[in-house]
Structure 1
Amino acid sequence: MIQGQVVFYMWHSFRQSLIHKHYFFLEQARKRLLSQFEDMGTDSKRAAVEWLAKHSSGFNSDRDDAESYYESAYDAGIEHYELLNGMRDQTRLSVLAGLFHDWEKQLRDWMAKEVRHSYGSENAANKIWKANFSQIIDLIESYGWPIRNAQYFERIDECRCVVNVYKHGDGGSFVELKKKYPYYLVIPFAVIDPIFFDVDLLDYTNVKVSDSQLQEFSDAIVNFWQDVPERLYGRDGMEVPDWFGNAINTDQATRLGNRSVPKN
Structure 2
Amino acid sequence: MGETVVLTAYMDRFKREKYISIYEVFQKKYDDSMTLLFSDKESTVKAYQENLKDKYSTMFNYEYTDPGDVFEDIQEQAFEFYEAEKLMEYNFHFSLLSTLYQMFEQQLRKFIYEELNHRLSSVRIEGEFADFGTNMGKIKEAFKHVNYALEATIQWDTISTLADLVNTYKHGDGRSAKRLYKNHPQFFLQLSYSKERVMDSELTTNTEVVFDLEEVSFKDYSDAIIDFWKDFPEHLSGKYTFPD
TM-score, normalised by the number of residues in structure 1? 0.76
The equivalences for 1:120-131 within 5 A come to 120-123=123-126, 126=129, 129-131=132-134
- Cα RMSD for the two superposed structures: 2.8
- 1:160 paired residue among 135, 159, 163: 163
In the TM superposition, residue 214 of structure 1 has moved relative to its aligned partner by 1.0
In the TM superposition, residue 231 of structure 1 has moved relative to its aligned partner by 1.0
In the TM superposition, residue 165 of structure 1 has moved relative to its aligned partner by 2.0
In the TM superposition, residue 7 of structure 1 has moved relative to its aligned partner by 1.5
d(CA) in 2 for partners of 1:122, 1:101: 22
What corresponds to 1:18 in structure 2?
19
What corresponds to 2:185 in structure 1?
182
In the TM superposition, residue 67 of structure 1 has moved relative to its aligned partner by 3.5
Does 2:204 correspond to 1:201? no
What corresponds to 1:41 in structure 2?
42
Asked whether the 8 Å contact 2:101–2:162 carries over to 1, the reply is yes
d(CA) in 1 for partners of 2:127, 2:190: 44
Deviation sequence 1:1-47 (CA, Å, 0-9, x none)? 33xx4511111111011101111122223324663111111110111
Residue segments in structure 1 that go unaligned for 5+ positions in a row: 238-248, 254-264
Asked whether the 8 Å contact 1:89–1:209 carries over to 2, the reply is yes
Relative distance call for 1:141 and 1:234 in structure 2 (3 A) is closer
d(CA) in 2 for partners of 1:143, 1:175: 32
Quick check: which has more Rg, 1 or 2?
1
Residue segments in structure 2 that go unaligned for 5+ positions in a row: none
d(CA) in 1 for partners of 2:128, 2:183: 31
d(CA) in 2 for partners of 1:87, 1:104: 26
**Farther-moved stretch of structure 1 (207-216 vs 81-90):** 207-216
d(CA) in 1 for partners of 2:195, 2:144: 40
Matched residues, percent identical? 24
In the TM superposition, residue 95 of structure 1 has moved relative to its aligned partner by 0.7
d(CA) in 1 for partners of 2:52, 2:130: 57
Asked whether the 8 Å contact 1:113–1:125 carries over to 2, the reply is no
User: SS at the partner of 1:123?
Assistant: coil
d(CA) in 2 for partners of 1:154, 1:187: 25
What corresponds to 1:246 in structure 2?
none
User: SS at the partner of 1:58?
Assistant: coil
TM-score, normalised by the number of residues in structure 2? 0.81
Relative distance call for 1:53 and 1:127 in structure 2 (3 A) is closer
Relative distance call for 1:160 and 1:218 in structure 2 (3 A) is same
Does 2:154 correspond to 1:151? yes
Structure with the bigger percentage of helix: 1
d(CA) in 2 for partners of 1:149, 1:105: 19
User: SS at the partner of 2:8?
Assistant: strand
Does 2:231 correspond to 1:230? no
**Farther-moved stretch of structure 1 (225-234 vs 65-74):** 65-74
Deviation sequence 1:76-131 (CA, Å, 0-9, x none)? 22211110000000000011111111111111101100000223413177487334
